[in-house]
Structure 1
């Protein structure tokens, strides 16, 4: 019975190491339109959170964002996601105080649920818009590494109403930085294993406490 506890505990770090999911999230203030922005203050162009998830088993990224209001395809605006795969050198936003927004690829998602990366159209089935929530999936193969492992790619989101000038950009998330999925996150199956393991450890400990001790008189 004493061998049970080390055996169970030995499974827990293994479960954490083998989990394929990585994720990161940043919360963005509401109403923080850039002072340089010239355009309508639409709620669906005001980012309130931005997240990136990477599954190393499927090599699929899932990007998500929430906004201060429901996304309205009848109004102006679209969403650009900059990606730094390792050799990001584009720093076009220094004049906006966003010099650390670095990228070498850009994904565009439109309010009608279509999107593209460069000249490649994304599958509309991989893009979801529900109220103020936007999520989409993209294969890492569409963003080949130029030095970084995929879980170290840097991402930034900036809504905008046009491509003419930087004063058409409404917001950045994260501010003056990029978001990378460098922290492993246990998946539901892993959490179940951990919970069962801890439960088994507790059961063993209770059994040992309740076991009667036999004393011999000499």
Structure 2
């Protein structure tokens, strides 16, 4: 009974998380300039950056086409425009819409950083994510909720533009908002219904 309920809740939770991604990206769409490993961990399939006003935190998430943990050289760089002047260093490879003046890097070895500051990084299968205090990403003119972002995977064993594996999206988008309380209530109601179904099944098998 407990195993059945746990499985149902896990599936529901994963489905809700998957649906929360801001963008999805085509598989096997490595940049033509990329000269690094073509391991599936470098192929970004979906990503999201969300801002939680209640906790004043950002959540960074990326899903790759294959397992991430321990893949040599794999890292995921979130570029953010936090206001003020930005640069567009990837215009030469056809990505003039990627602009940023702050970055968050999550690595397949389980480490992460914002400048000199280490951030806690989690890896589950082909997903890597981190929750970061907004204090580590100070504004240069934009409200936190108006920051824009994109993410790219790199093989950090390669130098220059040849390290750029995959971008998602190919131009900046605005951060997502963490779901409001009513959305959470709907999710909890759904999980409660799953629990009821599991209990009824258990009674029938007794």
Q: 2:97 aligns with which of 95, 100, 110?
A: 100
Q: Which residue of 2 aligns with 1:170?
A: 165
The normalised TM-score by structure 1 is 0.71
Mean Cα displacement is larger for which, 183-192 or 95-104? 183-192
Q: 1:128 aligns with which of 122, 125, 132?
A: 122
Equivalent runs, 1:42-191 vs 2, <5 Å: 42-122=39-119, 124=120, 127-162=121-156, 164-175=159-170, 177-181=171-175, 185-188=179-182, 191=185
Gaps (5+ residues) in structure 2? Answer: 1-19, 190-206
**TM-aligned CA deviation for residue 75 of structure 1:** 2.1
Distance in 2 separating the partners of 1:155 and 1:27: 14
Q: 1:49 to 1:36 in 2, by over 3 A?
A: same
Distance in 2 separating the partners of 1:57 and 1:169: 35
Note if contact 1:52-1:63 (Cα within 8 Å) is conserved in structure 2. Answer: yes
Q: Which residue of 2 aligns with 1:32?
A: 29
Note if contact 1:24-1:183 (Cα within 8 Å) is conserved in structure 2. Answer: no
Deviations 1:5-31 (CA, angstroms, capped at 9, x unpaired): xxxxxxxxxxxxxxxxxx761000000
**TM-aligned CA deviation for residue 187 of structure 1:** 3.2
- Could you say what the CA RMSD is over the residues aligned between the two structures, in angstroms? 2.0
Where 2:32 maps in the other structure, the secondary structure is coil
Which is strand-richer, 1 or 2? 2
The normalised TM-score by structure 2 is 0.75
Distance in 2 separating the partners of 1:56 and 1:174: 24
**TM-aligned CA deviation for residue 85 of structure 1:** 0.4
Q: Which residue of 1 aligns with 2:194?
A: none
Gaps (5+ residues) in structure 1? Answer: 1-22, 196-218
May I ask how many residue pairs the two structures share in their alignment?
Answer: 167
